[in-house]
A and B are shown apart, each in its own frame.
Chain A
Amino acid sequence: MVEQLSPLAAAFRPGSHGNFVDGVGVTLSEMAPGSIVQVAAWPGEEKKLIAAISSITGLKLADGAGAGAVSERHTVFGFAPGKFLVTDTAEGLASTLASAVTPATGSVTDLSHGRTAIRVAGQKSEWVLAKLFAVDFSLVAFPQGSGISTAHHDIFAQIQRSSPDRFDLYVFRSFARSFWKMLCHASDEVGYEVR
């Protein structure tokens, strides 16, 4: 197994930063899952694709736009009609999915090296993310487990709410460091811990 290198490199500075005298508002971390895979269904094949994802991840997906679910090992959410992002803490998910999703059902794209997963956790995470994206991050509009596609300027981002106070962001690996720096700036005001 090849050793994973983080694209955040020296911009990833563990410890507390910014205005943390009154406590840390958000915790920022890199998730570095072993696999990040995009799967897409041909029109009319969505149910078969969802069944394949469920059988591999053990996660139940509700029917509906942006529906998703999270376990210790896997995350899944819909980010566009008939399209899902699936992650695994272990490597090799793309080949497992490819054996379950036939060409007649849809397609499987391995994005493990193409995306960087950044986790924003803490009571101020909604506040910090609302500075960057014109999206309603309230628990009512953005329920736990669900995901969205959005963009910060031209940096495309997929975001899943993995718990009431925690969001997982998937950004292009080549933009990850500049996005991370901006996220740090946005978190400065509330105090943030990198770990």
Chain B
Amino acid sequence: MLITCPYCGPRDVSEFAYQGDGNRNRPDPASTDLVAWNAYVYDRLNPAGAHNEIWQHAGGCRAHLAVVRDTLTHEILSVRFAREKGAPAHGRRKSGAKA
């Protein structure tokens, strides 16, 4: 499985650390809404198909990445920096072509 890091380019999955489901939205830390916290901690979609995930390029540039992975085929459908909400998929460094 290859993940194309927006900074580093295509790298083996062994360089990445899975940081969990990317669909979670943490409730306000001051909130005491038990239902919301229960959902945040336990509720998972577990889809057979495209899944939003957070990965860290721990053995590389160490950036946190928002990855869409197909859980049936392991195909990586898109990658962007986790901090860039809404940024276009994939970055500057592509295999075989880099400034």
Cβ contact of B63, chosen from A64, A80, A135, A148, cutoff 8 A: A80
Find out whether the CB atom of A149 lies under 8 angstroms from the CB atom of B62.
yes
| A-B Cβ contacts below 8 A, count | 65
Q: How far is the CA of A156 from the CA of B9 in the complex (A)?
A: 17
- From DSSP, what is the main secondary structure of chain A's interface residues? loop
Nearest-CB residue, chain A, relative to B2: A134
**Residues of chain A contacted by B97 (CB below 8 angstroms):** 140
Find out whether the CB atom of B15 lies under 8 angstroms from the CB atom of A134.
yes
Given contacts A148-B60, A156-B59, 10 further A-B contacts (CB under 8 A): A62-B99, A65-B6, A80-B61, A81-B7, A83-B61, A134-B11, A140-B96, A149-B61, A150-B8, A151-B58
CB neighbors of B among A44-86 (8 A): 62-67, 79-81, 83
6 contacts between A and B (CB under 8 A): A64-B93, A65-B8, A65-B93, A83-B61, A136-B95, A150-B8
**Residues of chain B contacted by A1 (CB below 8 angstroms):** none
- Chain B interfacial residues counted at CB < 8 A: 24
Nearest-CB residue, chain B, relative to A149: B60
**Residues of chain A contacted by B95 (CB below 8 angstroms):** 136, 141
Smallest beta-carbon distance A27→chain B, Å: 27
A64 and B59 contact, Cβ closer than 8 Å, known pairs A81-B81, A141-B9, A143-B98? no
What does the 1/0 interface line of B82-99 toward A look like (CB < 8 Å)? 000000000111011111
Find out whether the CB atom of A63 lies under 8 angstroms from the CB atom of B12.
no
